Chains A and B, each alone.
Chain A
Amino acid sequence: MDASLPAHMRPERSFQGFILALQRFWAEQGCVILQPYDMEMGAGTFHPATTLRALGPKPWNAAYVQPSRRPKDGRYGENPNRMQHYYQFQVIMKPSPPNLQELYLKSLAAIGIDSAVHDIRFVEDDWESPTLGAWGLGWECWCDGMEVSQFTYFQQVAGFECAPVAGELTYGLERLAMYVQGVDRVYDLNFNGRDGDAKVTYGDVFLQAEQEYSRHNFEYADTAMLFEQFKMAEAACKKYLDAGWREGGNKKQHLMALPAYDQCIKASHVFNLLDARGVISVTERQSYILRVRELAKACGEAWIHTEAGGAA
């Protein structure tokens, strides 16, 4: 931890200070610090900086906060730690550096988790995303019995082998911050690190939103519109993919992988909303997941034929 920080910026006192400490740590490891992707998504992994950049031979090191939307997890603000909107901090390093575990442990130290008094453990957890056609091996990282991060070596993304393999770290920010700040209810987190009247809590910022969105997600989200949006996003994704292929010299190139992938993200989120509304039956559920996966795979295929995807 940086001793020169003013009290209100210290990771154990302020949620924003906590995020900044992580960003700073990973910036020092050579990561580009991105800002959140401007679309609704279920996890930081969906960000093209992870999903697409994990594919292809080019090195890539990035870190960013990604707001994650899980419509089904909404609890109208009544559950102490379950929300339909929360933050993930995502780190991706390709190829995975040999000391990634050590870097991760140092990042914990940077946010005030001292391995001399905390019991930090790497417990088997294989990661798989059926919608992204992706899987990897790794662990959930435990701190004193609490899962605080996900650590994964990507083996496959969008149906393609990762070569080289990227290492991905995902921190559940609220949960970690609650632990570091010693609060039991997420809405009690000190957001800005100030005291008295100047103090802003997580609840001040997000409680109303949790209530409103829970209402929306479970009761009012317009399902007819959403079914339509799913179809539109799916069609648009395929359209852009079809339109993006070029024959350049003796090899194929793709010129619109990113816009097409946006539509895949869109379809995935719309599906999550429909799922929360309970209008998708068990059997249909599987077929929707497959449809999103087909889009993700086609986007991955397009991506590896772009410049950043390694087609140079």
Chain B
Amino acid sequence: MPDLLLELFSEEIPARMQAKAADDLRRLVTDKLVAEGLVYEGAKAFATPRRLALTVHGIPARQPDLKTERRGPKVGAPDAAVQGFLKATGLKSLDEAKIQRDPKGDFYIGLIEKPGRDAIDVLAEILPVIIRTFPWPKSMRWGARSGKPGALNWVRPLHAITATFGLETEEPDVVKFEVDGIESGQTTYGHRFLAPAAISVRRFEDYEAKLLDAKVVLDPERRKDAILTDAKQLAFAQGFELVEDQNLLDEVAGLVEWPVVLMGSFEPEFLTTPGEVVRATIRNNQKCFVVRDPKTGKLANKFILVANIEATDGGNTIVAGNERVIRARLSDAKFFYETDLKTKLEERLPKFEQIVFHEKLGTQAERIRRIERLATDIAPEVGADVAKTKRAAHLAKADLLTEVVGEFPEVQGLMGKYYALAQGEDASVAAACEEHYKPQGPTDRVPTDPVSVAVALADKIDTLVGFWAIDEKPTGSKDPYALRRAALGVIRLIAENALRLSLMKVAASALAGLSVTPADASKLPSDLLAFFADRLKVQLREQGARHDLVDAVFALGGQDDLLMIVRRVEALGKFLESDDGKNLLAGTKRASNILAIEEKKDKRTFDGAPDAALYGLAEEKALAKAIGEVKTEASAAVVKEDFAAAMSAMAKLRPPVDAFFDKVRVNDDDAKVRENRLKLLNEIRSATRAVADFSKIQD
């Protein structure tokens, strides 16, 4: 079956957009093919800075013929209806229609045969539409045609379209179409500098090979492999080790069609600037890699650049040029760092009075004061030194106003730590300047120093409560203030440090510090708690745990101690994996179901203690006795926060529950006995509530 080759050749496509664009192209074309009844065998898309390419192989040469039946008017219907039917079906007269009988009468049926079209014609129709409506994140107009309405929008000027279709054994045909004055053909171009001449291509195989000859590596994965391999080798040859950086690799592979890896160096004295700053300078501004000494782990005074040409001088000019720029940049960075060191962190704070954190939540200075107060409140609860916590919260944001952080936002916090240490702050205070931002996500390290923990919690809870108060909660995929991440951060800080903290209390304290008063202030903490429950569920689900258990624990009410919730959920999860757990759950559910039915029947509940005098069977007595014991034992264990013990106590319920259902008929003929048995069932439910609401657990 024939294959399609499509290439869209343009001016330089932003690196960050290439991968998605290739994927979109593949998806859009193949979806449309399938919708047109052309089921293909395989497809692959590629991107370089100057082209998007797609190959789809094994496309049927023709669409299948389509036969559809169309129901027409009743036999004997007015002429207008008959004429309309003939027109719609293309039949010449009613003689060509069938008559079909159904309960409503006899109807004309027209058979419409739509012959399949040649795939190449279908392609010629769908490709220009896809090109015109391509989902670039940002697109533009250009050239003389941009003066007219309806001009093509593309990411950057589009210059040529290659579109061929055909069998491997034959000369393929050009899929003929035109978009905004660009005619499809089979001519593309090689590397901008190394082989700019036009190339005539037939199909994907020769296309890829000819591009390679013309110094274009089509497949981004191949470019990445080549860059990584060469960079590692170059570093290794000089006794260094490449500092790998996937995002940077992705980006530089999107900036070159013909990667050439080179190494340059800079003056060792720049290494007195913190390594992170050196790396950020070289990476962000110059898109170069850094290397380190494998023995010490420290950065070396070398960098690795990826050029787009094989230079006639072996790359000497390119290396020298890059060295000059990097030297100037590092010199700036060093100057920034040294300038920063001259000002104490606290001296920067007054400036925050001028900086708005959020229109409705006041200035950064106000926010820092809130965090300071909240962190001081939290400190004793998490075993942190109050004075150090207060100091850390006071200084933690100051580095935002330093030159280095202004230049490289990603080293915020880290620079705070360096500057705090340099001005002689306590080690915990300095660490908190960096760590209070942590954890940044599900895999980021969670701080353990109590001072860091207190400030980190205060920072996040102030953010959450603040945005809750002004009703800027996350909705759907929109979470512009990263509130989900903040909530997850709080959960991880608490759970991984085994902290006891009443979230309701902390949230209320944070709320009291805000200058805005939300309309429903009293509801806010519990509302926020529900958000934490949701985040906890998501996190547990991601860890492969059962999120319904979170519901079962939250349903008990009054649960705002995250650590206890997590512990309960863990114990419950383990218990439910055991036979005792499974059977007890089944028994409890059975009890609940029976109760639900009978409660509905009688329009009443069966609360209240059963009457021991009405127990007639041994199994009843045994169950009642077990419930009493288990309740006491489980409650005592819960008070001691020994949830495993509480679950073990629960396990003792299983045999009497099983025996009860085995031997006892609940709906006894004696109404009093029946009522008493139902009350006993209710007791099973209430006994299990010592650990969780079993009705929320899914089977």
Contact = CB atoms under 8 A, between A and B. Distances in A.
Interface stretch (B11-19, B82-90, B408-416, B523-531): B11-19
Contacts of B311: 116-119
Nearest to A116: B312
A146 B324 contact: yes
A247 to B, nearest CB: 27
A145 B288 contact: yes
12 contacts: A117-B316, A118-B318, A123-B255, A137-B156, A143-B321, A144-B322, A145-B286, A145-B287, A145-B325, A155-B141, A165-B141, A282-B354
Given A122-B11, A179-B321, A282-B356, A145 B305 contact: yes
Interface of B: 11-12, 14-16, 49, 138-148, 155-157, 159, 193, 255-256, 286-288, 305, 307-309, 311-313, 316-318, 320-322, 324-326, 328, 354-356
* Minimum-distance CB pairs A-B, first 8: A144-B321, A164-B147, A124-B14, A122-B12, A145-B322, A165-B146, A119-B307, A95-B144
A136 B318 contact: no
A278 B619 CA distance: 86
Contact of B143 (A95, A121, A137, A139): A95
Interface residues of A, number: 39
Contacts of B156: 137-138, 153
Given A116-B312, A122-B11, A165 B255 contact: no
Given A119-B309, A144-B322, A146-B324, 13 more contacts: A116-B193, A116-B309, A117-B312, A119-B318, A122-B49, A124-B16, A138-B156, A145-B321, A162-B146, A164-B144, A167-B142, A179-B324, A184-B324
A80 interface: yes
Nearest to A138: B156
A115 B325 contact: no
B231 to A, nearest CB: 16
B193 A120 contact: yes
Contacts of B138: 126, 137
Contacts of B14: 124
B341 to A, nearest CB: 19
A163 B255 CA distance: 30
Interface in A281-308: 281-283
A96 B156 CA distance: 12
Contacts of A97: 143
B328 A144 contact: no
Contacts of B322: 144-145
A159 interface: no
Interface in A121-163: 121-124, 126, 136-139, 143-146, 153, 155, 162-163
A229 interface: no
A136 B140 CA distance: 8
Contact of A118 (B139, B321, B356): B321
A274 B16 CA distance: 38
Contact of B146 (A81, A124, A145, A164): A164
Given A117-B312, A121-B308, A144 B317 contact: yes
Nearest to B140: A137
Contacts of B157: 96, 98, 153
B147 A163 contact: yes
B477 to A, nearest CB: 24
Contacts of A282: 354-356
Contacts of B147: 57, 95, 163-165
Contacts of B288: 145
Interface in A1-46: none
Contacts of A98: 143, 157, 159
User: Which of the listed residues A144, A162, A184 has the most CB atoms from chain B within 10 Å of its own CB?
Assistant: A144
A117 B308 CA distance: 11
Contacts of B12: 122-124, 139
A47 to B, nearest CB: 22
A304 B326 CA distance: 45
A124, A138, A146: which has the most chain B beta carbons within 10 Å? A124
